Amino acid sequence: MKKIRLLFIFLCVAFQGIAQDNIVYDVKFQGQKKNKVGFLKKYVSVRNGDVLDSLQLEKDVILLKRLAGVSHAYYQVFKSHDNLYNVFYNIEENFTLIPNANLWTTTNEQVAYKIGLYDYNFLGRNIAFGGFYQNNGFDSYGINLRAPNLFTRSLGIAINHQNWTSEEPLFFDDGSANYKYSNTAFEVLALYQINFKHRLQFGINVFTEEYNYLNGLTSESIPQNLKLDKQMLKFVYEYDGLNYDYQYIEGTKNTLYLQYVTTENNFQDNFLIGWSDFLYFARVGKKGNWANRFRFGVASNNASPFAPFSVDNNLNIRGVGNIIDRGTASLVLNSEYRYTLYEKGWFILQGNGFIDAGTWRNPGGNFSDFADSDNFRIYPGVGLRFIHKRIFNAIFRIDYGYGITKNASRGIVFGIGQYF
């Protein structure tokens, strides 16, 4: 009898403790216009009837600020009745229907252009959809669909088609040659969010590559015309611990890319390529942001001019030039200090000082090539960012890089979005 009485007292205390928990009565959204409330309710983790947890609310706010359609978000909690509370997520939306237009000159002084249109919040459901057309002496186009939350809160899909043609340099021991390069590809990827910080992508890319000789050095070992049918298995793992506050970013992020390419021909073997991008951001005072990217990549070490890693202005080293070399492994560090020079309303002017450094393994070479002065490059520089706070990725950047290592160059690099 005594044991039953003790058990009864214990259950009463336990139920009383549960009854005293603060409970979420309703989840509401304010400020959204294009974003669909049904999607947002599915996207956040807090549900009606959950125990009120400030840590979970903070996580949801970070997730909301990662959406292309959200420039800023915060939460508020108001008592409804008894121990029941209403949770309000307040949304400041981004404009996400973004036209794209670029104009530049190619290496042979021909005027080239690229135009496109993308909606990064298509149908108000965090779907990116759009395409582009490019003419640089050759016609190229691409169509892309990315819906990370299409099936469930955690499961989505990406479908991409690209028909790309450009003039590409290939490098030999005694010089280089220019080829017309074409790549026609179809890709399907599954997108899966494991939890708050971890995501996976995996799928297949089926593509055809064509190389046609234009000018430059010729070699008996390298055909002047080549057509290759290939299949690529792709796997991407992403850890995302970043927190955004408009133009400021804090935290770390790491993305691992693995690709296995198969082909049936007598010139190229199947090969594996992988690389990792590690990002680190820290706030410095009220207006400063220190940003860093460390990239390490390695591929099958075939002694071929078609090596996968390239040294290029727009990819890794600002000021170095357009595709000036290739390698089968790479080490790159980009570090820059961003400082808000002016901010009023929607407009932000940001300045930055940077150092880009990198080195490569030659095709068929050794990892000791990383220490070769002919491969090592260091480019300090300065730049400006013109930022619109209410338009997704509306950052126009201009950087000037000045090489200080052997046979260095210098140059201006334009682009949309932060460099990394």
Same domain, 209 and 358: yes
Same domain, 366 and 243: yes
Same domain, 82 and 143: no
Same domain, 139 and 249: yes
> What are phi and psi for residue 332, nearest 5 degrees?
-135, 135
Same domain, 87 and 106: no
Same domain, 356 and 211: yes
* Mean pLDDT of all residues in 36-59: 95
Asked if residue 183 lies in contact with residue 230, where contact means CB atoms within 8 angstroms, the answer is no
pLDDT tops 50 at residue 414: yes
pLDDT at 205: 98
Start-to-end C-alpha separation, the chain: 70
pLDDT at 144: 98
pLDDT tops 90 at residue 307: no
pLDDT at 405: 93
Q: Which of 123-137, 201-215, 318-332 has the lowest mean pLDDT?
A: 318-332
Same domain, 87 and 107: no
Q: Which of 94-98, 109-113, 137-141, 146-150 has the lowest mean pLDDT?
A: 109-113
Same domain, 114 and 71: no
Same domain, 45 and 168: no
Q: Which residues contact 133 (CB under 8 A, 6 or more apart)?
A: 114, 115, 116, 139, 140, 141
Place of tokens 């075939």: 302
Same domain, 205 and 85: no
**Long-range contacts: 55-61, Cβ < 8 Å, 24+?**
57/87, 59/196, 60/89, 61/89
Number of C-alpha atoms within 13 angstroms, CB side, residue 191? Answer: 17
pLDDT averaged over the chain? Answer: 91
What are 277-297's pLDDT values in tens digits?
Answer: 999 999 999 999 999 999 999
The span from the CA of 187 to the CA of 164, in Å, is 14
The span from the CA of 403 to the CA of 410, in Å, is 6
Question: pTM of the full predicted structure?
Answer: 0.85
Same domain, 59 and 157: no
* Mean pLDDT of all residues in 163-175: 83
User: Which of 42, 70, 93 lies at the terminal end of a domain, its last residue?
Assistant: 93
Quote the domain boundaries for residue 372. 97-416
What are 325-357's pLDDT values in tens digits?
Answer: 889 999 999 999 999 999 999 999 999 999 999
pLDDT class of 260 with cuts at 50, 70, 90: very high
pLDDT tops 50 at residue 65: yes
pLDDT class of 177 with cuts at 50, 70, 90: confident
Q: Which CATH number goes with the domain that contains 65?
A: 3.10.20.310
Tallying the residues shown for the chain, one arrives at 420
pLDDT tops 50 at residue 16: no
Q: Which residues pair with 71 in a beta bridge?
A: none
Same domain, 124 and 54: no
pLDDT tops 90 at residue 74: yes
How many domains are there within the chain?
2
What are 96-130's pLDDT values in tens digits?
Answer: 999 987 777 665 667 788 999 999 999 999 999 99
pLDDT tops 90 at residue 239: yes
Q: Which CATH number goes with the domain that contains 215?
A: 2.40.160.50
User: Which of 68, 93, 118 lies at the terminal end of a domain, its last residue?
Assistant: 93
User: Which of 93, 119, 137 lies at the terminal end of a domain, its last residue?
Assistant: 93
